[in-house]
Structure 1
Amino acid sequence: MIQKAIRKLSLPLFASAGITAAGLILYQRISLHRASRKGDKTPFESYTTPDGVSMAYERFGYGRPVVLLHSLHPGASRREWRPQIEKLAKDFRVYTVDLPGYGQSDKPTKPWTAYQYAKALHSFLSDVIGKPVALAAANGGADIALVLSMLYPEDLEKMVLISPEGIGRGFATPNDTQQLKKLLSPVIGTQAFLDGTSKKALRLLAEELFYQKERMPVDFVKNLKQNARYGKGAQASYAGYVTRFAAADTKQAFASLSLPFLLIWGERNVRNSAVYLEEAENLQEKGEFMLFEDTAALPHMENSKAFGQILKDFLSEEDLERKAM
């Protein structure tokens, strides 16, 4: 009698759980479908790496080549460098690139390592530009630039680095990566991805990236949301971010730099403290170092006018030296 009662009670519970799971899966599919329709529609050129990965990029102006590389966080893309393009394009051939897994580039179904990113970037520089470049890169993108400098030093003439994360945080730890399998899984992982790329979550991220919130572009969070969920491999990109899969200890690469470089840190960077600027100065006797007051992780956006002038002056130093001779 008791067993029969338990069976009678269990059937509705299991049925309810099944309906709930089915509803959750339907919600996830609808959310992902909407994201695919609302992705960034900015026109771009496309480059396909030897491994078959398509990379979106834009080019502006004429002159010596300058490549601008974005940060590595949910929704990051080449749009990050928009405030600097007009000024630079008057004197340089400017390339803005979406790394694989970001923006309008292909999003691989598994997270990438820093080595894979550096290899793809090397292929782009070799095949599209074909000569050494000046490279400006921010945050996680700055670590990719430093890995590139170790593997393919012939690709670079100058570097501008904004708060490389590897100088402070180094490689991912086992504690960082233990969630990877779960985050890549269907249903549970997909829900974590949708929660982590919700408008609320991305707004909280944006508020960490900017110290002076009034300087945040009005469409910044909207653009993050467009890019964070766009593409079949977007969940893998998010999993890679959460687990710091692409993290690298770039202290050695930075200490080994022999080309002209400028290292910039936002004074109010809560994601990667400015105390690491002093550590970086202890690693290098060459180069230039600068602390940007009242900015956080994106000084090139938050104080774009001052940053743009400093960037242009640094990139033009060789021309000024020639004129003085």
Structure 2
Amino acid sequence: MPEMIINGCRLHYTDQGQGPAVLLIHGLGSSSRDWEYQLPALLPHFRVLTLDMRGHGQSDKPRRGYSIKAFAEDCLSFIEQLELNKPHLVGISMGGMIAFQLATDHPEVPGSLTIVNSAPEVIPRRPTEFAAAAKRLFFAHVLPIGTVARGLARLLFPKDEQQALREKFEQRWRENDRRAYLASLRAIVGWGVSEHLDRIACPVLVISGDKDYTPVEHKRNYVCRLGDARLEVISDSRHATPVDQPESFNQLLLDFLLPQAGHHSIHHNKT
């Protein structure tokens, strides 16, 4: 896995395939590995890049630099160093926030955005939202990382037949650096770019699991404020949609990306 020094931090990345560039941006406590179910679908058509954000995966875990804006600047530097032209950004959860930040700060950069189970802000506005944010921060800070990992795995993959996924992702999340994980979590709460959505100048696809943390209606509300944007909902899916429903997810992603890249999706007709 190659690496690059970006803003004083050593970041690991992958770079495979040929064609228009697609940059996959993972979520909180995750890494490039979480896109394993997308690579076989994307690589026949695209140059696919993944990046372990600072504090995550095999990248450095510095003591400073944890903010959504800083993550977005890391992505921008990565794009510039590799001279990627209008890359298509695909971000899940925190990765979607990073994509929103990059697209509002530098609207000329992305060719498109695919936002998965995410939103343009995580700002508590109601008493129940303040309580939920406080509860999440509290338990993340007092519980061992292994306990957090086990709880997340059970929440995201609750079915009996998902035991293998539960075990795989619990083990991955146990590998997180606790300090970097908590710093990244704190970076999310209170972040937002909702007031700048009109700056986004590229097509946007928003994908939501029907059982995601945040209701589909929340996503519908912000999609209405975007220009060239649409919302797709995948049934029987929670927060890790690319993992728990990879075939449906990959189909939507290809149907969105291929026409923009000049391909015809004749081989990817919906059944």
TM-score, with structure 2 as normaliser: 0.84
Name the residue aligned to 1:35.
none
Give the Cα–Cα distance (whole angstroms) in 2 for the partners of residues 61 and 269 of structure 1.
Answer: 31
- Aligned with residue 158 of structure 1, among 95, 112, 131: 112
Candidates 32, 50, 60, aligned match of 1:96? 50
CA distance in 1, matches of 2:118, 2:202: 17
Q: Which residue of 2 aligns with 1:21?
A: none
Partner of 2:232: 290
**1:63 maps to which of 1, 15, 19:** 19
Note the C-alpha offset of 1:244: 4.3
What letter corresponds to residue 220 of structure 1 in structure 2?
F
The correspondence of residues 164-183 of structure 1 with structure 2, limited to 5 A, is 164-167=118-121, 169-170=122-123
Give the CA deviation at 1:221: 1.2
Instruction: State the distance in 2 between where 1:307 and 1:164 align.
Output: 15
Question: Taking structure 1 as reference, are residues 289 and 255 closer, same or farther at Cα in structure 2, changes over 3 Å only?
Answer: farther
Instruction: Find 1:310's aligned residue among 242, 249, 252.
Output: 252
Structure 1 residues 57 and 247, CA, compared in 2 at 3 Å: closer, same or farther? farther
Structure 2 match to 1:203: 150
Aligned twin of 1:105: 59
CA separation of 1:223 and 1:266: change in aligned 2, threshold 3 A: same
Give the structure 2 partner of residue 5 of structure 1: none
User: What amino acid sits opposite 1:53 in the alignment?
Assistant: C
With over 3 angstroms needed to count, the CA separation of the structure-2 counterparts of 1:174 and 1:292, relative to structure 1, is: closer
Partner AA of 2:117 in structure 1: S
The correspondence for 2:194, drawn from 237, 240, 251, is 251
The alignment partner of 2:11 has SS state of: strand
Shift of 1:251: 2.0
Higher helix share: 1
TM-score, scaled to structure 1: 0.71
Q: Aligned-pair distance for 1:267?
A: 0.8
Classify the secondary structure of the residue corresponding to 1:67.
Answer: strand
Instruction: Name which of 72, 94, 98 aligns with 1:140.
Output: 94
Once residues 268 and 67 of structure 1 are traced to their aligned partners in structure 2, the CA distance between those partners, rounded to angstroms, is 26
Shift of 1:71: 0.8
Unpaired runs of 5+ residues, structure 1, are 1-43, 184-190
| TM superposition shift of 1:123 | 0.3
Q: 2:40 aligns with which of 77, 86, 98?
A: 86
Higher deviation after alignment, 147-156 or 63-72: 147-156
Q: CA RMSD in A?
A: 2.9
Aligned to 1:18: none
8 Å contact 2:107–2:199 — kept in the other structure? Answer: no
Q: Deviations over 1:235-256 (max 9, x none)?
A: 1432441x34565213234344
Structure 1 residue identity aligned to 2:231: F
8 A Cα contact 1:265 1:292, kept in partner:
yes
Say if 1:114 and 1:246, in contact at 8 Å, map to a contact too. no
CA contact (8 A) 1:67 1:136 kept: yes
In the alignment, structure 2 segments of 5+ residues that lack a partner are 267-271
1:235 matched to 2:182? The reply is: no
Q: Per the alignment, in what secondary structure is the counterpart of residue 4 of structure 2? A: strand
| Distance change >3 Å, CA 46–CA 260, structure 1 → 2 | same
